Each structure stands twice: as C-alpha cells, then as structure tokens.
Structure 1
C-alpha cells in the first residue's frame, strides 16, 4: 500500500508546467522570504528581552511573506489533477503513518532536549533564548509555531515538490527526499554541523510525509508540532 501511494505523485500532483528557470527563480524567492523572516526572529529576542521594534518588523514581514506564499501555493495547487483535501479527511486517511511520524518527532525532540540538559549534547548556538522572561518565550512560541514552521514547510516540501522531482520513479522520490532534507537543514540557519544534521533528519521525515500523504497540510501539521515541542523543551 505504501508503494502504491508513494509513487502516485506524478499523476496526482503534476502542476501546469513553466520554464525551469522561472521555477528556480521563484523558489529562491521563497527561500529568501523564509530565511529573512527567521533571521529577524533570531535578532528580535535576546537574553535581555525583546527588541520591540524588531518584534513588530518580524510580524509585519512574517505575516506578509507567509500570506504571499500561501496564496501562491494555493494558486499552484489549483492546477493539480486531484481536488484539494480537507485536513481532517487527510489526517484520518493517513492516521497510522501520521501517528508514527508524530511519535518519532516528539520522542526525538525530547531526547535532544534531555541530552542537552545532561551535557551530552551542546547547546545549539542559535537556539531560542532560554530564560525567565515570559514575553520572550511567548514570542518564540507564536513565531516558531505559526509563522516560521509554516514558511519552512512550504519551502522544503510544498514548493519544492511542486517545482522539482515530479517524476513517479524511485530515483526521483529518493532524490527529492534527500535534497529536501538538505534544504531543511540549511534554511534553519544552523549554528553547527550537528544542528544542521539534526534538522536535515527532520526534513527527511517531513518530505516523506508529503510524498506519502500527498497533502501539504500533513507536513505543516508535523512541522508545527516539532516547533511547539522544540520551543517548550528549551
């Protein structure tokens, strides 16, 4: 059953074609939006508290760019052969796989946090600021879960598989998962190779979820869960 669903991608998700150069330029723009938004967020909160001006800039830039990305994705999605799936319907139809990925992501996030607390893993350089400032925590929680995670999923899975690796072959699927994971590791602006590889592995999980469920809402949901657990467990 997995193999049948996994390799239906070309038939179901083939979008109206455009010149490869147009897709590449457009994709680089989405990457720039995602990286710029994350960069502003990282500077908006520090050990001393929030930079109010940067917080305002973050929400303006983040919400505006996210709205553009969602609008464009939905527009491209309208050219797909299959009707748009509802979240609950897609979740129920793939409940076994989504539950597996949900548990895997939560357990990995908790293990990473546990190892960091016990000194077995280093504190990542650009992790969210941990401290007693409740405003910083709330800002990071809202920013990570509702803006950053959604943008990153649109970049590393949604737009990525819309533009590239659309053939329904094992080589295309595996290549897409690998490249998507590398992009996922890079756009998180990792402070170390260890952090890059950690985020790359999560990227593999999200890409596999997208290909299996054929619904962008599923990796977005898991990405939001991952961001929620990651922010809380700091």
Structure 2
C-alpha cells in the first residue's frame, strides 16, 4: 500500500502508458500475499488469503459497477480490462483488502477479549465495526483523491455518501472475516475447511451485493447498468 501511495504522490503513473503497466505493477505488489501460503505451514494464512482473494474478485467484478452507476465513477487510464474493470485493480484490491482486514482483526480482537460477554459488548463491537468501516472507506477515498484517472461526477459526494456506500463492504466483511476461522465445533476444535472458506467468502460477497443494491433501489433509485 505504501508503494502504491508513493506511485500516486510522485505521479510515476504518468509513465504507465502501456496497456499492461497497471497490471504488471499491481500484480507484482500483490505477489507477496498471493505467494505467502506456499511459504508457510499456517493453515489459517492460506485460508485467509483465499478468502480475501475471492472477496477481492467479487468486489471488482460486481461492486465496481455500482460505483459506475451511482457515483458516476470511471477509470480513464489505459489498461487491459475484464468486465470493464482494469485487471490491475483486481490485484490492487488484494493487497489493500488484506492490509485492511489484518488491521481490523487486531482491533476487533482487542475489544473481543477485553470485555465480558453481554449486550453492551455486542453494542460496542457493532459500533467499532461501523466506525472502522467508515474510516477505512473514507481514508481510501481521500488517499487516492489526487489520482486523476479515477474520476467521479461529484468528488465531494464521494467523501460523504460514497464513503458510506463503500463502507458497506467492510460493515459485512470485517466481522465475517474475523469470525470465519473460529472453532466451528468447540468440542472437537474443528477449523473451517478450504471449501467452507470459499463458501463463506462467497456468502460475505452476496450479503454486500444485497446491501449495495438495497441502497441503489431504496435510496438512490437509479437503474443498474453493467456495461462490457
């Protein structure tokens, strides 16, 4: 993420004139995450990366079109695309989302183990999830604001409505990712399998998709378009 931010701040991206430039840069930056499971014996690490990689794909393939539709967003740089989303962004999302969820797990674990079970803990936990979700969405929107090739019709709306809209991603994914590999059978201490990891990631993706579409239908009230 730091390297990506430096690219934006120093405007090195102006030299990315080849259609494969963003794919190569973002693909390279995502390699440490994608290859890490092959160099560790931790079953959790492998499943966590798988979970977030699937989630990142779903987010780009489907959710990006909600930003196109509702916030009138558009990528204007030259790049190879899949379903009208630059493939480089699929890879960029991997290292962004992995970082976000590693941090959120630390925060949520702190509150989870620091307080006794009860209604107030659940309320506090929910407030923390909401705050983390909005903060993460806002900071990403703010940090890439100087990147001229991701345009919005109304940038001020992106920081307010857009951050809340983007925050729906994390409102579901932060707690679901935190709990996905907890003991599912306390008696036997069984952990989730690889297949269960795939199913849970897809389930999280569907919940977010429903949340985004409810906002589109009930609040914004605009037709949804997924252009090739």
TM-score by length of 2: 0.47
TM-score by length of 1: 0.46
- Structure number with the bigger relative contact order (C-alpha 8 A, sep ≥ 6) is 1
